[in-house]
């Protein structure tokens, strides 16, 4: 996803177009460039640009790791990738990287010329591997990290697909009843001498649709479009999510998801040889807004000599199990592995939360949607039963 960014960089205001998977990744990218964002807006792609070629950094990493493990040098690997790529954006980027390498620049410097395609974590991983000399292993770990984070995000999205489908189908059925079925029952209801209040409401609705059907239908479509825009327009979507996260259980699930990404990213950077303070600076943007102040205090305490586990625990950026694992990692010198282990425990906790959400929320949602439709159908047929009883 591309973002238009107005940022303050080296005392000047710049307008940039950057690509990132989310706003959190964009914040990391801006932090890596030492730029202060002033305004961030997602770029809306027109239909004419949908078919344009894009650069797949994940595929690039996989192919580069395979060539490096086969024994090719870095320049030879980039040259081989460039030779097999057809003309387009990908070939242009590979040519630029190859040219930079032949001029004596490091890979991180060559990739840094394309920040819109290589995230800040990617550049930090490459930069750390250049000090250790294990580029293929570091890129392999980054690719595995991307796969785990993507799978985690996919599980969360998949848990929301079924409720969205139920709500969409229920809305279509309800609109069909309101716009087509009820107006055709009006002639039957008008024969009643003393209709109840519910029937009078149905009569009023039927007359309204009969007289101003196009206006009513347009108003309903506009309302549905506004609801859809709430999910598509980033500021409205974030406001809606913030309202949902006021519920304690949902806020706890979001915190588990954020902690999982935080610990996994921290472990990735530490395994690659990134210094602790630099790794913390890069991973801080992954935490929710309400934890940012505590995280900054924790970084200051770590910089002052306090242990990482103690600093995170004192500022509420850990769980009981994660705290114990980080303490063991600090004592044994295996902090990167323990951070990854903490992320795995949090993934399991998130899986249990998603499963519980599916088992409880989905049946309740179906019951609610079915109940609303059932009430409308009941109100439609109740007057008919009364008419039939009076005739009998």
Q: What is the mean pLDDT of residues 276-284?
A: 84
| Bridge partners, 8 (sequence order) | 13, 36
Give the residue among 386, 381, 370 at the shortest CA–CA distance from 174: 370
Yes or no: say if 281 and 303 are a contact pair by the CB < 8 Å rule.
no
- Asked whether residue 258 carries a pLDDT value surpassing 70, the answer given is yes
Count CB neighbours of 4 within 10 A. 14
Q: What is the pLDDT of residue 44?
A: 55
Written as six digits, the tokens of 244 are 């949902």
Q: What is the mean pLDDT of residues 193-215?
A: 81
Task: Measure the CA–CA gap between 22 and 240, rounded to whole angstroms.
Answer: 17
Residue-averaged pLDDT of the chain: 80
Q: What is the mean pLDDT of residues 321-328?
A: 90
Burial 217-234 (b: 16+ CB within 10 A, else e): eeeeeeeeeeeeeeeeee
Q: What is the mean pLDDT of residues 138-163?
A: 80
| Bridge partners, 19 (sequence order) | 2
Burial of residue 310 (CB within 10 Å: 0-12, 13-18, 19+) is middle
Give the residue among 325, 303, 302 at the shortest CA–CA distance from 314: 302
105 pLDDT band, cuts 50/70/90, is confident
Q: What is the DSSP string of 207-240?
A: HHHHHHHHHHHHHHHHHHHHHHHHHHSHHHHHHH
Written as six digits, the tokens of 36 are 């202060």
- Asked whether residue 21 carries a pLDDT value surpassing 70, the answer given is no
Q: What is the pLDDT of residue 390?
A: 64
- Asked whether residue 392 carries a pLDDT value surpassing 70, the answer given is no
Higher-confidence residue of 150 and 367: namely 367
| Percent of the chain scoring above 90 in pLDDT | 2
**274 torsion bin: left (phi>0), alpha (psi -120 to 50), beta (else):** beta
Yes or no: say if 343 and 260 are a contact pair by the CB < 8 Å rule.
yes
- Asked whether residue 52 carries a pLDDT value surpassing 60, the answer given is no
Residues 160-188: tens digit of each pLDDT: 788 888 888 888 888 888 888 888 877 77
Q: What is the pLDDT of residue 9?
A: 66
CA distances from 329 to 283, 294, 326 (A): 18, 22, 5
Q: What is the mean pLDDT of residues 313-329?
A: 89
pTM of the model: 0.64
Q: What is the pLDDT of residue 33?
A: 66
Q: How many helical (H) and strand (E) elements, i.e. helices and strands, does the chain have?
A: 16, 3
Task: Measure the CA–CA gap between 159 and 170, rounded to whole angstroms.
Answer: 18
Give the relative orientation of helices 276-283 and 120-132 as an angle to the nearest 10 degrees.
160
DSSP 72: -
> Hunting for tokens 């090719």 — which residue is that?
72
Q: What is the mean pLDDT of residues 293-314?
A: 89
Q: What is the pLDDT of residue 23?
A: 67
DSSP 85: S
Handedness of CA 240, 245, 250, 255 (dihedral sign): positive
Tell me which H or E stretch contains 370: helix 335-391
CA distances from 44 to 49, 51, 118, 232, 306 (A): 10, 14, 21, 10, 45
Yes or no: say if 53 and 94 are a contact pair by the CB < 8 Å rule.
no
- Asked whether residue 51 carries a pLDDT value surpassing 50, the answer given is no
Higher-confidence residue of 286 and 10: namely 286
- Asked whether residue 193 carries a pLDDT value surpassing 80, the answer given is no
């Amino acid at each position: 996803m591309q973002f238009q960014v107005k940022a303050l960089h080296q005392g000047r205001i710049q307008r940039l177009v950057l690509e990132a998977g989310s706003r959190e990744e964009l914040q990391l990218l801006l932090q890596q460039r030492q730029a202060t964002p002033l305004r961030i807006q997602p770029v809306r792609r027109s239909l004419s640009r949908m078919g344009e070629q894009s650069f797949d950094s994940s595929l690039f990493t996989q192919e580069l790791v395979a060539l490096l493990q086969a024994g090719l040098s870095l320049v030879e690997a980039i040259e081989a990738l460039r030779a097999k790529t057809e003309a387009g954006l990908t070939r242009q980027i590979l040519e630029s990287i190859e040219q930079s390498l032949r001029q004596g620049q490091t890979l991180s410097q060559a990739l840094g010329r394309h920040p819109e395609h290589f995230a800040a974590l990617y550049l930090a991983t490459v930069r750390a591997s250049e000090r250790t000399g294990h580029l293929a292993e570091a890129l392999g770990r980054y690719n595995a990290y991307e796969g785990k984070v993507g799978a985690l995000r996919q599980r969360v999205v998949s848990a929301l697909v079924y409720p969205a489908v139920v709500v969409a189908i229920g809305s279509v059925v309800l609109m069909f009843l309101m716009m087509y079925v009820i107006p055709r029952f009006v002639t039957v209801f008008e024969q009643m001498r003393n209709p109840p209040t519910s029937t009078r409401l149905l009569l009023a609705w039927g007359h309204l649709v009969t007289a101003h059907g196009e206006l009513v239908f347009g108003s309903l479509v506009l309302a549905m479009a506004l609801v859809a825009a709430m999910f598509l327009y980033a500021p409205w979507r974030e406001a809606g999510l913030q309202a949902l996260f006021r519920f304690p259980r949902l806020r706890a699930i979001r915190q588990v998801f954020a902690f999982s990404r935080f610990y996994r990213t921290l472990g990735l950077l530490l395994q690659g040889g990134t210094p602790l303070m630099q790794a913390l600076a890069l991973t801080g943007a992954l935490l929710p807004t309400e934890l940012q102040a505590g995280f900054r205090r924790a970084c200051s305490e770590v910089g002052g000599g306090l242990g990482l586990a103690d600093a995170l625990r004192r500022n509420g950026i850990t769980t009981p199990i994660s705290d114990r694992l980080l303490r063991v990692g600090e004592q044994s010198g295996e902090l990167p592995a323990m951070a990854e282990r903490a992320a795995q425990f949090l993934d399991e906790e998130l899986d249990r939360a998603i499963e519980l959400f599916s088992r409880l929320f989905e049946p309740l949602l179906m019951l609610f949607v079915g109940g609303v439709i059932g009430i409308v159908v009941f109100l439609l047929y109740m007057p008919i039963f009364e008419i039939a009883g009076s005739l009998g």
